[in-house]
Structure 1
Amino acid sequence: MANNSTQTNTAPDTVWLGRGRHLGPEPEQDVRRNLIALKAAGVLDDFLDLEPAEAARSTTLHPRDESADPGPSARRLFEARWRVADDVTVRAQLTTYDPEGRRRDGEGVVWVLAAEAERAWDVRWPSPATMFWPDSERVAWDRDTVPEVSLRAANHLPKDDDELRRRLRECVQQSWFVHVVVHEAMTPDAQGQRPVSDFLPPGLRHRVVEHRATPEQAQIADFAMKRELNVRMPRGGAVVLPTTPGAAGYDAERFTVRSVFLDGSEPTELLDRIREFAALPRPLSADAERALARLRQGWHLLTPDEELVHAQGMVAKYAEALEAMTTSRDRYREAAEAAQAALAELTGGEVAPRAGGASDGSPLKALTRVFGRFRDQK
């Protein structure tokens, strides 16, 4: 993992970020079970399960950095470390949060996942999401923070015009995922209803949300996207939606596919456009920047070698602090001795004790009192 903690407005190419909602009753238990199973299977090198307060107190790399604090609404923090391509280490943090404000029925628990590899991310690597969440349809961890939107399904756009425009705005402005709208030229059969994300490589599969416009929604969906996002949706085609703020290099025409056959075959052109869009330098929201900073600056799960380096660094810091204290003490003693000598010279070698025989213990203060008496005698 890169050690440079400087925050930028663009996601590094070593990073995988995701934010969603878990609708089940025990999200942390689902994570815990999955981590235990993957470590037992040798998929994970190790993992850690921390209370948020404990995580903030025991930050290993930067103990005084506020970025390590997951925040007051955090429920639990999990860390995991695994290797890909034989020797590339990936470090990841998943934090679960209570929803802001009063929790509503069905709103679920928000989760934020940040992962970083030692080199540029390869989409063929396993999805960090399935290192924490079980890759099972029976566990509802895969909901976007935008209501009624799922990662592993083809989400049909709302029928109502106002709701459709609101859905598009929220997906572009709030979501961390790549959003694609596909128009069904005709109602597809079961094979055609298969989500496009099923054809994506593992490292992209849980970064893409697919929306479907029914055949009769061609005009209303096209009008809404033109009005809200300045993109067009061709009949029977697809478009990769822009982000807010916009990603450098995005061109609506470039990321529009004129024809997508929903017959169960691999939509090669659309998949290429999705891969290309996902590779663009993507601006980071403030929340995403905090998640990345927390991963880099609030990491706890060290390897034995990292623990040794950290311990050596702490010893060096303590030695520097002790040396500074010793130097400060020696300088104070030298100043005190000089003040005592000056005081003895002014008083003829005698220093009168304070009333009661007690000394104030400070030659500097005694010298100040002598100078004060001299001023009074003038």
Structure 2
Amino acid sequence: MAKNSSSSTTVPDTAWLGRGRHLGPEPEQDVRRNLIALKAAGVIDDFLDLDPVEAARSTVLHPRDESADPGPTARRLFEARWRVTGDITVRAQLATYEPETRRKDAEGVTWVLAAEAERAWHPHWPSPATIFWPDSDRVAWDHDTVPGLRLRTTNHLPKDDDELRHRLRDVARQSWYIHVVVHEAMTPDARGQQPVSAFLPPSLRHRVVEHRGTPEQAQIADFAMKKELNVRMPRGGAVVLPMSPQGPGYDAERFTVRSVFLDGSEPTELLDRIQEFAALPRPLLADAEQALTRLRRGWHLLTPDEELVHAQSMVTRYAEALDAMTNSRDRYREAAEAAQAALADGTGGDGVPRPSAQGPAKPDGSPLSALTKAFGRFRDPNK
């Protein structure tokens, strides 16, 4: 898979992108079971389960398009199509990849998910993550590619200063998710230990990784975040971390919440800041751009109307190709006939050259010259 790098383009407002790791034994089987159940329940219209090599060869809309190839380490490619708000179609692809064995912390199977709607994405639509993955804590599909982090739960900050700074650098540069750090002013009870991201709308919930700092980590967390990302950690508050490089529209003060009550109540101000951050333009990372391009140019799961349009297009293409072949055949036949006529003129019809009665033939009147002229007429269609 390609390494992350910043891009001059931003993520389209119609797209939903996610990347993570599945640490369970049968990731593809988990996807299949979920898609089968959702299709039976009428949640999705249809889905496909594809071998990535065959999928790249049989791309419907753009045959033999290299941008549709998920890469040599791809294990499986899944497509699903569903509708939101009645008539808005969403198309999504999920590819699974072999672990990066060169890295010691590269556990599990990496997955990349790209979804795109016909209109701007709404956070209250169903999460594409739970279209492919079961929304169950018992299935470990929701680990970030940054080691030690997981969606749908709280992730405590490392106690070691160097480890903490290393993690902050990694999440800013490598992760596709929105990262929020919440400081616990005092150790919360069971209700306060629940992630605040659970209050977010469905499509945004699985785009947020929540970090927690313990009461005694206030100073060390504040120092590390100031040093690495130029943001401050308020005691008993929260901050939405910027990406690196920092995207347009981000203001550290704006995305800092001074007080968050971890008592099980809805932290309205923090949720508003997270949703505001999610609406900002985001740089389209290189491998995210590849996933979105693959979705657009390597799509197989057509609707009946799309299949009809595609079939009509293929009929037109075949007719044009047949026309071109027929024209080429006619031109070759005309050239052959002209060559035979020229040869007959120069040999008297029996293939044996005849000397001219007026002496040696001029170069322009030779059989070779006649053949050259005949083929010259074939090369120039105006003659």
TM-score, length basis structure 1? 0.89
Is 1:277 aligned with 2:281?
no
- The equivalent residue for 2:351 is 352
**In 2, Cα distance between equivalents of 1:151 and 1:37:** 23
> SS in structure 2 opposite 1:144?
coil
Q: Deviations over 1:180-231 (max 9, x none)?
A: 1111111111111110110000010100001111111111111111111111
**In 1, Cα distance between equivalents of 2:245 and 2:290:** 17
> SS in structure 2 opposite 1:36?
helix
- The equivalent residue for 2:316 is 316
Q: Where does structure 2 lack aligned partners over 5 or more consecutive residues?
A: 1-6, 354-366, 376-383
AA in 2 matched with 1:34: N
- The equivalent residue for 1:67 is 67
Residues 3-42 of structure 1: matches in 2 within 5 Å? 9-42=9-42
Contact in 1 for aligned 2:15/2:115 (Cα 8 Å): yes
Q: Deviations over 1:38-74 (max 9, x none)?
A: 1111111111111111211221111121111111111
Q: Once superposed, what is the RMSD of the aligned Cα atoms?
A: 2.4
> SS in structure 2 opposite 1:181?
strand
**In 2, Cα distance between equivalents of 1:281 and 1:152:** 24
Is 1:330 aligned with 2:334?
no
AA in 2 matched with 1:177: Y
AA in 2 matched with 1:367: L
Is 1:244 aligned with 2:244?
yes
**In 1, Cα distance between equivalents of 2:72 and 2:369:** 49
Residues 250-261 of structure 1: matches in 2 within 5 Å? 250-261=250-261
- The equivalent residue for 2:177 is 177
Contact in 2 for aligned 1:9/1:289 (Cα 8 Å): no
> SS in structure 1 opposite 2:45?
strand
> SS in structure 2 opposite 1:78?
strand
**In 2, Cα distance between equivalents of 1:98 and 1:12:** 28
How far does residue 308 in structure 1 lie from its aligned partner after superposition? 1.0
Relative to structure 1, the CA distance from residue 364 to residue 249 in structure 2 (aligned partners, 3 Å threshold; closer, same or farther) is farther
- The equivalent residue for 1:359 is none
**In 1, Cα distance between equivalents of 2:94 and 2:109:** 12
How far does residue 338 in structure 1 lie from its aligned partner after superposition? 4.1
Q: Deviations over 1:135-194 (max 9, x none)?
A: 111111110001010001110000000100111111111111001111111111111111
Q: Deviations over 1:331-351 (max 9, x none)?
A: 333344444445555x26547
- The equivalent residue for 1:226 is 226
Q: Deviations over 1:221-253 (max 9, x none)?
A: 111111111111111111111113332211212
**In 1, Cα distance between equivalents of 2:255 and 2:211:** 15
**In 1, Cα distance between equivalents of 2:249 and 2:69:** 34
Relative to structure 1, the CA distance from residue 103 to residue 213 in structure 2 (aligned partners, 3 Å threshold; closer, same or farther) is closer
**In 2, Cα distance between equivalents of 1:269 and 1:365:** 91
How far does residue 8 in structure 1 lie from its aligned partner after superposition? 7.2
**In 2, Cα distance between equivalents of 1:257 and 1:248:** 20
**In 2, Cα distance between equivalents of 1:94 and 1:126:** 16
**In 2, Cα distance between equivalents of 1:51 and 1:364:** 58
**In 2, Cα distance between equivalents of 1:364 and 1:213:** 92
> SS in structure 2 opposite 1:137?
coil
Residues 1-378 of structure 1: matches in 2 within 5 Å? 9-102=9-102, 107-345=107-345, 347=346, 349-350=348-349, 352=351, 367-368=371-372
How far does residue 330 in structure 1 lie from its aligned partner after superposition? 2.4
AA in 2 matched with 1:279: A
> SS in structure 1 opposite 2:299?
coil
**In 1, Cα distance between equivalents of 2:270 and 2:259:** 9
> SS in structure 1 opposite 2:282?
coil
Contact in 2 for aligned 1:94/1:111 (Cα 8 Å): yes
**In 2, Cα distance between equivalents of 1:210 and 1:139:** 19
Relative to structure 1, the CA distance from residue 210 to residue 326 in structure 2 (aligned partners, 3 Å threshold; closer, same or farther) is same
**In 2, Cα distance between equivalents of 1:90 and 1:177:** 21
Identity of aligned residues (%): 81
Contact in 1 for aligned 2:338/2:374 (Cα 8 Å): no
Contact in 2 for aligned 1:8/1:289 (Cα 8 Å): no
> SS in structure 1 opposite 2:334?
helix
Relative to structure 1, the CA distance from residue 244 to residue 352 in structure 2 (aligned partners, 3 Å threshold; closer, same or farther) is farther
**In 1, Cα distance between equivalents of 2:296 and 2:302:** 12
AA in 2 matched with 1:180: V
